[in-house]
């Protein structure tokens, strides 16, 4: 892999602002203004027109939902009603549709500056047993880092859950595939491209037995755990009715109250809940856009971070966003948190959640910041559009003026977006194929 000198950036979210030297997929040097690399490099990239951020990290998504954006049966509904409308639609998911939905979501994320993503896939219709294999293949093709989460549902309507019988699996089938996926794909250690997490969907769609079994598997194989928790007041009421306890007590009851776990949404927590989550190092993925679309509530980011809980960002599913653009999500996080707290919530807070905070949620310390020794994952934006004209602070401008598309993206030292376009992807063809596939879900 050629070494690269990213020279004289317009601005950079790092301690030194003069440039970056990348060697063997890592950040080898951070330069001061006017300083040259210590040894020769193979390539020099003039970044004088670029604002350089750490690659963004998306810690919660549902790729298949790109196929049901703005669905007529689901718009203008809160979570439970939205799910009830869409579960029968998602029951028509096929392997081909899964593949094109995944490809489009990954491409959309990449173009917004995302270098690492997770996806929470839990819909296993007949014939879709290889869903995780499809996702790994597509992520590798685009050169993106990914935590594939082997999601699951085994509590259907007939058993008191929310999903219909057609989209759930048997516990033994789920656990066997969890073992298979971990054994085949889970990479450990610095620089990992593909990692695996276990992700029973939610308290209202899985049994306590499955939660406990997945926790034991994660301990056995040293991987992480993920689930939806405390997203809505309806969910809180369900937990108290079904289990006789609140969501965080339930999390402890099934053995998940530990630093392996990161949660999606995490909105309706009491002061005691927040303190316990922080004490045990449980991460929370803040999904501001989805929370606003579904009117779910406002995540207590400040209290969670103060208690010691990692806070990251996620776009959530493209049917509750309705986009897969984390740079837009950074702006939404800033706005909703200023409304929740005050104007002292800064653009740097929102960018931290999307980078270093998200890395912590995924259990990683090799990505999420621009520092010597970290992986060379970078998102680079220009300020050429009219929306940026007159902006004085380039980094703040990305958030406040609404950046949404990266000009360059590097992953592990390799350029994956050049001049705003993903390498090796025909955007027009992808749009046509995905649009045709989505017609089957109307």
User: 241-253 pLDDT, tens per residue?
Assistant: 999 999 999 999 9
Q: Are residues 96 and 192 in the same domain?
A: yes
Secondary structure (3-state) at 166:
helix
Q: Are residues 237 and 263 in the same domain?
A: yes
Neighbours of 164 (CB within 10 A): 16
Task: Compute the distance between CA of residue 40 and CA of residue 429 in angstroms, rounded to an integer.
Answer: 40
Q: Choose one of 312, 343, 361: the last residue of a domain.
A: 361
Neighbouring residues of 200: CB distance < 8 A, sequence distance ≥ 6: 122, 151, 152, 153, 206, 210, 211, 214, 227
Mean of pLDDT values over 190-209? 97
Q: Are residues 302 and 407 in the same domain?
A: no
Does residue 430 belong to any structural domain of this protein?
Answer: no
Query: How does pLDDT run across 257-308, given as a tens digit for each residue?
Result: 999 999 999 999 999 999 999 999 999 999 999 999 999 999 999 999 999 9
Domain count, the chain: 2
Percent pLDDT > 70 in the chain is: 100
Does residue 429 belong to any structural domain of this protein?
Answer: no
pLDDT band at 225 (very low <50, low <70, confident <90, very high): very high
What pLDDT does residue 211 have? 98
What pLDDT does residue 166 have? 85
Does residue 311 belong to any structural domain of this protein?
Answer: yes
Mean of pLDDT values over 32-56? 97
Find the farthest-apart pair of alpha carbons in the chain and give their distance in angstroms, rounded: 68
Task: Compute the distance between CA of residue 280 and CA of residue 286 in angstroms, rounded to an integer.
Answer: 18
Rounded to the nearest 10°, the torsion over CA 95, 97, 102, 105 is -170
Q: Are residues 387 and 280 in the same domain?
A: no
Q: Are residues 375 and 396 in the same domain?
A: yes
Per DSSP, the residues of 28-89 read: EEEE-TTPPPSS--SEEEE-TTEEEEEPEEE----GGGGGGTT-TTTTT--HHHHHHHHHHH
Mean of pLDDT values over 228-254? 96
For residue 293, what is the DSSP state? H
Q: Are residues 228 and 352 in the same domain?
A: yes
Q: Does 80 score more than 90 pLDDT?
A: yes
What pLDDT does residue 1 have? 87
Task: Compute the distance between CA of residue 261 and CA of residue 272 in angstroms, rounded to an integer.
Answer: 18
Does residue 215 belong to any structural domain of this protein?
Answer: yes
Rounded to the nearest 10°, the torsion over CA 102, 107, 113, 115 is 60
What pLDDT does residue 25 have? 98
Q: Are residues 233 and 143 in the same domain?
A: yes
Neighbours of 44 (CB within 10 A): 14
Q: Which CATH number do you get for residue 47?
A: 2.30.40.10
Query: How does pLDDT run across 135-181, given as a tens digit for each residue?
Result: 999 999 999 999 999 999 999 999 889 998 888 999 999 999 999 99
Does residue 346 belong to any structural domain of this protein?
Answer: yes
Q: Are residues 276 and 377 in the same domain?
A: no
Q: Choose one of 326, 343, 361: the last residue of a domain.
A: 361
Q: Are residues 139 and 102 in the same domain?
A: yes
Q: Are residues 43 and 146 in the same domain?
A: no
pLDDT band at 318 (very low <50, low <70, confident <90, very high): very high
Does residue 255 belong to any structural domain of this protein?
Answer: yes
- Positive or negative, the CA dihedral 107, 109, 113, 118 is negative
Q: Are residues 266 and 348 in the same domain?
A: yes
Q: Which CATH number do you get for residue 284?
A: 3.20.20.140
- pTM, two decimals, is 0.98
Q: Give the chain's mean pLDDT.
A: 97
Q: Are residues 87 and 174 in the same domain?
A: yes
Domain range for 92: 56-361
């Amino acid at each position: 892999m050629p070494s690269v000198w990213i020279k004289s950036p317009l601005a950079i979210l790092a301690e030194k602002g003069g440039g970056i030297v990348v060697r063997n997929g890592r950040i080898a040097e951070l330069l001061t203004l006017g300083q040259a690399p210590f040894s020769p490099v193979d390539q020099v990239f003039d970044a004088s027109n670029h604002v350089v951020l750490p690659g963004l990290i998306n810690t919660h998504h549902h790729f298949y939902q790109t196929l049901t954006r703005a669905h007529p049966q689901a718009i203008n509904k809160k979570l439970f009603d939205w799910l009830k409308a869409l579960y029968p639609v998602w029951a028509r998911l096929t392997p081909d549709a899964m593949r094109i939905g995944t490809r489009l979501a990954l491409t959309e994320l990449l173009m917004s500056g995302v270098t690492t993503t997770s996806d929470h896939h839990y819909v296993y219709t007949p014939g879709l047993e290889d869903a995780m294999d499809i996702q790994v293949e597509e992520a590798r093709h685009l050169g993106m880092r990914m935590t594939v989460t082997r999601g699951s549902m085994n509590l259907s309507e007939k058993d008191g859950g929310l999903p219909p019988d057609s989209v759930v699996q048997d516990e033994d089938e789920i656990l066997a595939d969890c073992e298979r996926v971990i054994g085949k794909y889970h990479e450990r250690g610095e620089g990992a491209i593909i990692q695996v997490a276990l992700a029973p969907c939610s308290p209202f769609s899985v049994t306590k037995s499955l939660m406990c079994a997945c926790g034991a598997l994660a301990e056995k194989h040293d991987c992480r755990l993920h689930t939806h928790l405390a997203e809505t007041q309806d969910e809180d009421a369900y937990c108290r009715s079904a289990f006789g306890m609140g969501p965080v007590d339930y999390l402890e009851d099934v053995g998940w109250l530990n630093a392996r776990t990161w949660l999606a949404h995490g909105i309706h927590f009491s002061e005691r809940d927040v303190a316990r989550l922080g004490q045990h190092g449980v991460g929370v993925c803040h999904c501001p856009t989805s929370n606003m679309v579904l009117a779910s509530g406002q995540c207590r980011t400040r209290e969670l971070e103060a208690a010691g809980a990692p806070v990251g960002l996620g776009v959530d599913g493209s049917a509750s966003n309705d986009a897969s653009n984390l740079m837009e999500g950074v702006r939404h996080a800033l706005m909703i948190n200023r409304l929740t707290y005050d104007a002292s919530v800064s653009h740097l807070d929102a960018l931290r959640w999307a980078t270093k905070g998200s890395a912590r949620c995924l259990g990683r310390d090799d990505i999420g910041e621009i520092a010597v020794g970290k992986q060379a994952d970078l998102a680079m934006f220009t300020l050429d559009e009219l929306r940026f004209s007159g902006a004085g602070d380039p980094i703040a401008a990305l958030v406040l003026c609404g950046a949404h598309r990266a000009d360059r993206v590097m992953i592990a030292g390799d350029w994956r977006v050049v001049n705003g376009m993903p390498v090796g992807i025909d955007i027009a063809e992808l749009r046509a194929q995905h649009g045709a596939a989505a017609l089957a879900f109307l």
